[in-house]
Amino acid sequence: MGPLVLDIESTRLTSDDIRRISHPLVGMVILFTRNYENRKQLTELCRDIHAIKPGLLIAVDHEGGRVQRFREGFTQIPAMSKLGECWEKSSEKATLAAMACGYVLAAELRACGVDMSFAPCLDVNFNRSQIIGERAFSSQPNVITQLALALIQGMRLAGMSNCGKHFPGHGWVIADSHLELPVDDRPLEFLSEKDLKPYMWMGQALDSVMAAHVLYSQIDSKPAGFSEYWLKTVLRDKLHFTGVVFSDDLSMKGAVAAGNVTERAQAALQAGCDMLILCNDFAASDTLLQTLTFADSPERADRVKRLLPKGEAPDWETMVQSALYKRSLAYLKEFI
């Protein structure tokens, strides 16, 4: 699978979509709300995308709360902060609810042909960042870790891989990296005590990690997604992470300081990213397909292959009749 994660224009494939997806550099398609009408349409779209090339993955941001691309016809997944609030009253109940969230969101997506969700969010809620906010489980790293592990277990029950984000932590900065480059001026000791703890503790539970478009000014001169220090020295060497590293969207304003789109992509690959997300700029996607230089390695190819969904997913009608699905919905009843 190639390193590029590209989006498509609408609810059905255009000739330009097919041309881009067919390119050897493309290994994944990411979907958005604009690509969704209803479950039948989504299922047909995913079938058409998968038919273009073997091994092609389809992903979506489907965390719950305000970050859930498909709503009508899907179960409303609560914001992860609701699970953190539940933990304060009953850790057992919150853990069961988190596992149920993971299973329901993954099972429903897979029933329609979507392979992966970019979840869970591992950021610490410092009550500062509007872009993170209720997406975070908690302000406590141990609670984040326990609930994220339960969510991941639920996703795995449905055969879906996971993605922890936004490494090494997006919860402190106030600026939105979609609109500007946020600067986090805390020392490494502070991040190690808070933001990095979930990544330290979760170990091999994470199949992939998404790097933040945040500059940690006391630690490195480059944003994390373009930093060999963060991705190789810290994530690979110190934390012994062996999964896939995704860049965040290279079209975001937090990424543009790294140069034009080709320079951004090459810098992210050099820093240690395995997969490069580029969305909402089809001209830039075409440029990157023409100009990106990429040489795969057996190690990277093996990491990416591990993201493939496990087992055959049941269709929607079969899924909703299963005991596991019914039991999971029961755990979520008070959150929905």
Between CA 117 and CA 265 the distance in angstroms is 22
| Rounded to 5°, angle at Cα 256 from 36 and 285 | 45
Is 220 marked as a binding-site residue? Answer: no
Is 327 marked as a binding-site residue? Answer: no
Is 47 marked as a binding-site residue? Answer: no
DSSP structural state of residue 306? T
Choose, from 7, 248, 249, 274, the residue flagged as catalytic.
248
Q: Please, are residues 30 and 59 in contact by the beta-carbon 8 Å criterion?
A: yes
Between CA 248 and CA 77 the distance in angstroms is 23
Between CA 103 and CA 325 the distance in angstroms is 8
248 is catalytic: yes
Annotate 165-182 with b (16+ C-beta within 10 A) or e (fewer): bbbbbbbbbebbbeeebb
Q: How many CB atoms lie within 10 A of CB 153?
A: 16
Token readout for 174 is 């106030």
207 is catalytic: no
Counts for the chain of helices (H) and strands (E), in that order: 13, 12
Is 135 marked as a binding-site residue? Answer: yes
Is 61 marked as a binding-site residue? Answer: yes
Which residues fall within 8 angstroms of residue 199, CB to CB, at 6 or more apart?
Answer: 122, 164, 167, 168, 206, 209, 235, 239, 241
Choose, from 178, 281, 286, 296, the residue flagged as catalytic.
178
Four-point Cα dihedral 106, 207, 83, 322, nearest 10? 30
Token readout for 232 is 């190789």
The closest alpha carbon to 58, from 70, 76, 66, 67, belongs to: 70
What is the set of active-site residues?
178, 248
| Residue stretches of the annotated binding site for substrate | 61, 69, 135, 165-166
| Residue stretches of the annotated binding site | 61, 69, 135, 165-166
